[in-house]
Amino acid sequence: MAATGSWVATGLGMGLWVYGWLGEKNPIAKMRFHDAGMVLVFSSIIVRVLIQDRAMTWFDWILVVVAPLFIAAALWRLKRTGGMTNSEDR
């Protein structure tokens, strides 16, 4: 169940990332779509690394250490840009 959910989150994250590049014109909204997609993708990668049946490799350890840094940075930026996507900002 966790593996399926992580793949769904990966798909949603990639969809947000692609929509940010192709569909959104407002730079702040574009950045917010990228950040939300990055949070979903990195979170789902961490879930898949932690539930795998084999021993963790050096690359898995790097992902487990680095991914939370990217997640925290994206969440911080999402919080900072929360009120900046109104229609008068476009």
pTM listed for this prediction: 0.84
pLDDT band at 39 (very low <50, low <70, confident <90, very high): very high
Q: Residues with Cβ < 8 Å from 13, sequence gap 6 or more?
A: 36, 37, 38, 39, 40, 41, 44
Q: What is the mean pLDDT of residues 44-73?
A: 94
Contact 85, 20 (CB under 8 A): no
Distance of CA 28 to the CA centre of its chain: 16
Give residue limits of the domains in the chain: 2-82
pLDDT at 87 (0 to 100) = 54
Contact 21, 30 (CB under 8 A): yes
Q: What is the mean pLDDT of residues 20-44?
A: 93
Asked whether the predicted pLDDT for residue 59 surpasses 70, the reply is yes
